[in-house]
Amino acid sequence: MQELTHWINGKHVKGTSGRFADVYNPATGEVQARVPLASKAELDAAVADAARAQAAWAATNPQKRGRVMMAMVGLINRDMDKLAEALSREHGKTIPDAKGDVQRGLEVIEYCINAAQMLKGEFTDSAGPGIDMYSMRQPLGVAAGITPFNFPAMIPLWKMGPALSCGNAFILKPSERDPSVPLILAELFQEAGLPDGVLQVINGDKESVDAILDNEVIQAVGFVGSTPIAEYIYGRGCSNGKRVQCFGGAKNHMIIMPDADLDQAADALIGAGYGAAGERCMAISVAVPVGDATADALIEKLIPRIEKLKVGPYTAGNDIDYGPVVTAAAKANILKLVESGVAQGAKLVVDGRDFKLQGYEQGYFVGPHLFDHVTTDMDIYRKEIFGPVLSTVRAKTYEEAIGYAMDHEYGNGTAIFTRDGDTARDFAARINVGMVGINVPIPVPLAYHTFGGWKKSGFGDLNQHGPDAFRFYTRTKTVTSRWPSGIKEGAAFNFKAMD
């Protein structure tokens, strides 16, 4: 069986803690590798080495750091097939979807080529007599990222690109469920010219996460994952004096107005609800049709589309719509929530509970489910299911529909389908959710905008990528300067206007 490694100081390094986690092939249920789980001592040593490497990297001018990003773009494109294969083998998503995962990370690396532009400071000439004032953005030192299983290329790249191009060293603790792609990305960064030690990939679980949170050298922590862990990391990281941003779970609502194009809305719900087996933080998991006529017509359009979905392993070809979920535990949790929906009175219109795939009986495949008449007190409505399960909550009016999305504890993404500009504009203005789609079901912002949810979906002030990333991974220093020829008075004891 393959034994995976850490990536430390530019080399693959075996784990020394003696602890490992199994890495499964979710399509077959077989253990295909084991990944080392770092101890606090291993983590701390890698951070100390990163801190030493960081000084020279921070002194490298930003355009040279940008060139490393430029080379990285070429290398990721060169190795796209290899990355997608490694990703699908551990995660289970289809190859086209895995390429999309890599691509959306790659776009942030492209954005970081121009880091010099983002890092330019501000300057005021003659702010007072003979006085100039300027501010500069300096790297923090060592930053760390803790990432989830569901985008094993995109989310590590969202963090590596901005953190490194700002001149920081970066410690990545990827998900232990699909750790191979981050290791390949680290090799590619080395090939792109990143000095050894500046990027360390440390595999692990809670022990290494706690070691990151308690390490005094690490200045900032970026987390993406489930909300309970996000809250824990935010609390412990902040109380240890670190800059912390945590992005958590989701329950994304899509409102379908009576004037919407229902075929477009149904197609959008199929892709956004069942794509990647529903394991996306921007998946639509709640459909809110307005009016019973809209709801009935929508359900009628959804059923045949769901029945046509092709579920299978990524090796079965590119016409598979979605693959298995990530672990046996994830599958069990999804099916348990489906049972709770039935027990609590929701109508299971499409029942995927008996889904079996011949030849892959041990794989973690979950058939598609569609619920109608879901109410807000049900577990399937309140909890994130993270599986191919779409719940329909019927609303009588637009106000009732927007109220559901506003009152839910999560606020990652949301969408409205309508032809009416007034309604769309009102929705975008009032909704308390971080990312909003108007006739767009998965409104993931592009690299030069920022990504982040509200309420229990996001903790901290700044979002991921876009201009916020350059703020998160730098701190501002402001200098006031005057030369001896500009000094006209002796000791001054009072604060006063600079004129």
Q: Which residues are catalytic?
A: 281
Q: Which is nearer to ligand NAD, 109 or 229 (CB)?
A: 229
| 37: contact with ligand NAD by CB under 6 A | no
- Return the range that interacts with ligand NAD (CB under 6 A); candidates 43-51, 117-125, 141-149, 194-202: 141-149
CA distance 367 to 323: 10
The nearest distance, CB 354 to ligand NAD, in angstroms, is 26
Residue count, binding to ligand NAD (CB under 6 A):
26
* 429, two tokens: 């203005």
Amino acid at 395: A
Stretch that binds ligand NAD, among 67-75, 220-228, 300-308, 435-443 (CB under 6 A): 220-228
If the CB atoms of residues 423 and 450 are measured against ligand NAD, the closer one turns out to be 450
- Half-sphere exposure at residue 143, Cβ-oriented, CA atoms within 13 angstroms: 29
* Binding residue for ligand NAD, selected from 109, 194, 224, 288, defined by CB under 6 A: 224
CA–CA gap between residue 275 and residue 368 (Å, rounded): 10
Count Cα atoms within 13 angstroms, Cβ side, for 403: 9
Among the residue ranges 201-209, 367-375, 397-405, 418-426, the one whose residues contact ligand NAD (CB under 6 A): 201-209
CB of 320 to ligand NAD, least distance (A): 22
Residue 71 interacting with ligand NAD (CB under 6 A): no
Which residues, at least 6 apart from 494, have a Cβ–Cβ distance to it below 8 Å?
Answer: none
Binding region for ligand NAD (CB under 6 A) out of 144-152, 182-190, 368-376, 486-494: 144-152
149 binds ligand NAD (CB under 6 A): yes
Tokens, residue 115: 């880091």
Among 42, 79, 97, 384, binds ligand NAD (CB under 6 A): 384
Q: Does residue 147 bind ligand NAD (CB under 6 A)?
A: yes
- 54: nearest Cα among 184, 219, 176, 202: 219
- The answer to whether 201 contacts ligand NAD (rule: CB under 6 A) is no
Of residues 320 through 379, those in contact with ligand NAD by CB under 6 A are none
Q: Report the site for ligand NAD in 238-267 (rule: CB under 6 A).
A: 247-250
For ligand NAD, the closer CB: 71 or 157? 157
- Of the candidates 155, 137, 139, 233, the one whose C-alpha atom is nearest the C-alpha of residue 460 is 233
Q: Within 437-466, which residues bind ligand NAD (CB under 6 A)?
A: 453, 457
- State the minimum distance, in angstroms, from the CB of residue 185 to ligand NAD: 15
Residue 180 within binding range of ligand NAD, rule CB under 6 A:
no
Q: Is 90 in the site for ligand NAD (CB under 6 A)?
A: no
Length of the chain, in residues: 499
**Residue 146 engages ligand NAD in binding (rule: CB under 6 A):** yes
Closer residue to ligand NAD, CB minimum distance, 150 or 391? 150
Q: Which is nearer to ligand NAD, 147 or 391 (CB)?
A: 147
Task: Give the residue closest to ligand NAD by C-beta.
Answer: 225
Stretch that binds ligand NAD, among 148-156, 235-243, 286-294, 338-346 (CB under 6 A): 148-156
Alpha-carbon dihedral angle through residues 120, 124, 125, 129, given to the nearest 10 degrees: -150
Least distance to ligand NAD, CB of residue 473, Å:
17
CA distances from 169 to 436, 463, 472, 489 (A): 33, 20, 14, 45
- List the beta bridge partners of residue 467: none
DSSP structure string for 321-352: -B---S-HHHHHHHHHHHHHHHHTT-EEEE--
* Site for ligand NAD contains 26 (CB under 6 A): no
By CB under 6 A, is residue 175 in contact with ligand NAD?
A: yes
Angle at 128 between CA 125 and CA 130, to 5 degrees: 70
Rounded CA gap, 459 and 443, in Å?
Answer: 20
Q: Which of 11, 64, 206, 356 binds ligand NAD (CB under 6 A)?
A: 206
- Are 341 and 379 contacting, i.e. CB atoms less than 8 angstroms apart? yes
Tokens of 237: 């990281």
Q: Is 382 in the site for ligand NAD (CB under 6 A)?
A: no
**Paired strand residues for 77:** none
Alpha carbon distance 50, 52 (integer Å)? 5
**SS3 at position 194:** coil
The answer to whether residue 386 forms part of the interface with ligand NAD (CB under 6 A) is yes
Alpha-carbon distance of 33 to 12, in angstroms, equals 15
Angle between helical axes of 95-112 and 154-165 (0-180°, round to 10): 10
Contact mark string toward ligand NAD, 403..442, x via CB under 6 A: ---------x------------------------------
**CA–CA separation, 153 vs 156, rounded Å?**
6
Applying CB under 6 A, the residues found at the interface with ligand NAD are 146-151, 173, 175-176, 205-206, 209, 224-226, 229, 247-250, 281, 384, 386, 412, 453, 457
